[in-house]
Amino acid sequence: MMKEIKTSGRLNGIGEYYFSKKLREIDELNKQGKQIINLGVGSPDLPPHPDVIAVLAAESAKPNVHAYQSYKGSPVLRKAFADWYATWYGVTLDPETEILPLIGSKEGIMHICMTYLEAGDEALVPNPGYPTYQSAVKLAGGTVRSYTLTEANGWFPDFDALEKEDLKRVKLMWVNYPHMPTGTAATEEVFEKLVAFGKKHGILICHDNPYSFILNDSPKSILAVPGAKDIVLELNSLSKAQNMAGWRVGILAGAKERINEVLTFKSNMDSGMFLPVQLAAATALGLGKEWYASLNKVYAARRTRVFAILDQLGCVYDKNQTGMFVWARIPEGYTDGYTLSDEVLYGANVFITPGGIFGKAGDGYVRISLCSTEEKLEQALFRIQQLAIIN
């Protein structure tokens, strides 16, 4: 008998990503003719700027761009990232030493955890929050220390509660503002508190910042706080605001020492991005305010339709949310967001995300993506209205 091949213990308790499983289920329902309207995943359905695509096409046609690339990324892209941070965030970064391009910021989450965490180390992870933070901490061998965000506290960390905890094993803290899934915008006050908290306890503050341009008039970076580089690493991405999710282009920004530490791990994992992609990304970073204004005009119109869907469902929500989702509290009578999500999926053939996938603190909520056309959103509303009539 052949010896059983077992997976590594590091996968215990991880599980397959929720959307990976749910999309398979939706695919099966579609094969049955259900024609599910998916309002769950935040994958931009709009294309990048035509100039970005033109650069990719022109550069890809050149014969000398297909080799392995620098582990630190093209100087052109690093300079573009530095200019982008200076223009929009008021942050000065040295393109030679304080910027590390990434093959999407999601890989950066893993790189950071693998660089700094080992058995016995703890990481503060927001609840609700992006599930990948928790998975990456566990895969790196660290221990997740969840900190609860509440609607009553504005979805910000409760620093008084954190100060009462034993933090001696905590090595890093994951934060994300504008926050996903709640849409809570960043504030300078909270950023300042995070930097002070990190310095006081020797905790590396890891800020994930992909949503700062979506339905937000005031993009912010935690690196704008004086002295932040001493204790902060910031991830950013072109996936959302530049409509380049599938291109996999992100950035890690911070002090030279931190960048070099992460590079030690990253350089063993990949060999850099395709150069034409990097050059096209540099073009995307140079787009002016008219690009963001046009993008947000589309998302604002869609958000109005999403508000109508949530009104039909009897949900409660904040109209001042930022980012490409709307987060809403479920009405009384439902056990949790999963119950409401399933009712809408199986009854109206519309998928909305249950808030519980982002942590127990999200159980009483649902989230709807703005990455669908107004026509699809109107159709989803009609189906849910018909479900209400049937019920």
Where residue 72 sits, what CATH number does that domain have?
A: 3.40.640.10
Question: H or E segment at 76?
Answer: helix 75-89
**C-alpha distance from residue 270 to each of 99, 179, 335 (Å):** 17, 29, 44
More confident position, 11 or 188: 188
* pLDDT (0 to 100) of residue 8: 80
Distances (CA, A) of 76 to 35, 60, 263, 280, 281: 44, 16, 19, 10, 10
Q: Tell me: do 14 and 147 sit in the same domain.
A: no
Query: Using CA atoms, how far apart are residues 218 and 214, in angstroms rounded to an integer?
Result: 10
pLDDT in tens, 247-256: 999 999 999 9
> Average pLDDT in the 346-358 region?
95
**pLDDT score recorded for residue 389:** 63
pLDDT of 67 > 80? The answer is yes
- pLDDT band with cut points at 50, 70 and 90 for residue 15: low
pLDDT at 147: 98
Q: What is the 3-state secondary structure (H, E, C) of 21-44?
A: HHHHHHHHHHHCCCCCEECCCCCC
On whether both 225 and 118 belong to a single domain, the answer is yes
Domain membership of residue 148 (yes or no) is yes
Tell me the per-residue pLDDT of 263-310, one tens digit each, with 9 for 90 and over: 999 999 988 899 999 999 999 999 999 999 999 999 999 999 999 999
Residue 53 forms part of a structural domain:
no
Per-residue DSSP letter, 330: P
pLDDT at 226: 97
pLDDT of residue 5: 82
Helix (H) or strand (E) holding 174: strand 170-175
Identify the pLDDT of residue 220. Answer: 97
Question: 289, 305, 324: which is the final residue of a domain?
Answer: 289
| Confidence at residue 10, expressed as pLDDT on a 0 to 100 scale | 80
Residue-level pLDDT at 306: 98
The answer on pLDDT for 386 being more than 80 is yes
Same domain, 201 and 336: no
Share of the chain above pLDDT 90, in %: 88
Assess if residue 270 is contained within a domain: yes
Q: How confident is the model at residue 121 (pLDDT cuts 50, 70, 90)?
A: very high
**The tokens of 46 are what?**
């709009």
229 and 377 belong to one structural domain: no
38 plus 166 within the same structural domain? no
Q: In sequence order, what DSSP letters do the residues of 289-313 get, joined into one string?
A: HHHHHHHHHHHHHHHHHHHHHHHHH
Question: Does 327 have pLDDT greater than 70?
Answer: yes
Tell whether 172 is covered by a domain.
Answer: yes
pLDDT tens sequence across 217-251? 999 999 999 999 999 999 999 999 999 999 999 99
Residue 17: the pLDDT is 67
Residues 141 and 285 in one domain: yes
If you average pLDDT over residues 96-113, what whole number do you get?
96
Determine the average pLDDT of the residues in 193-211: 98
| Average pLDDT over every residue of 110-119 | 97
Phi, psi of 334 (to 5 degrees): -105, 140
**Has residue 57 been placed in a domain?**
no
Calculate mean pLDDT across residues 101-128.
96
- Inform me whether the pLDDT recorded for 377 exceeds 90: yes
Query: Are 301 and 278 in a shared domain?
Result: no
CATH code at position 16:
3.90.1150.10
Rounded mean pLDDT, 178-193: 97
Has residue 52 been placed in a domain? no
List the end-to-end C-alpha distance of the chain, in Å, as a whole number: 56
Residue 99: enclosing H or E segment and its boundaries? strand 99-102
The last residue of a domain, from among 228, 260, 289? 289
Domain that holds residue 215: 66-289
CA neighbor of 125 nearest in space, from 102, 100, 104, 142: 142
Give the residue from 247, 265, 289 where a domain finishes: 289
Query: CB neighbours of 297 closer than 8 A, spacing ≥ 6?
Result: none
Both 238 and 265 in one domain: the answer is yes
- Give yes or no: residues 102 and 153 share one domain: yes
Q: In terms of pLDDT, which residue wins out, 11 or 122? A: 122
Provide the 10 A C-beta neighbour count for residue 335: 10
Q: What is the pLDDT of residue 1?
A: 72
CB 149 within 8 A of CB 129: yes
Domain co-membership, 331 together with 319: yes
Catalogue the E-assigned strands of 209-351: 232-237, 250-254, 316-317, 325-329, 350-351
Give the model's pLDDT for residue 3: 80
Same domain, 285 and 383: no
Quote the mean pLDDT of the chain. Answer: 94
Distances (CA, A) of 370 to 304, 342, 360: 10, 20, 24
| pLDDT number for residue 336 | 95
Do 141 and 273 belong to one domain? yes
pLDDT score recorded for residue 2: 75
- Residue 253 located in a structural domain: yes
Q: pLDDT category, 391, cuts 50, 70, 90?
A: low
Q: What is the pLDDT of residue 79?
A: 98
Per-residue pLDDT for 390 more than 60?
A: no
Q: What is the pLDDT of residue 183?
A: 96
Decide if 58 is inside a domain. Answer: no
Q: Backbone phi, then psi, for 2, in 5-degree steps?
A: -70, 140
Q: Is the pLDDT of residue 4 over 90?
A: no
Overall domain count for the chain: 2
What pLDDT is stored for residue 157 in this prediction?
98
Provide the 8-state DSSP code for 103.
S
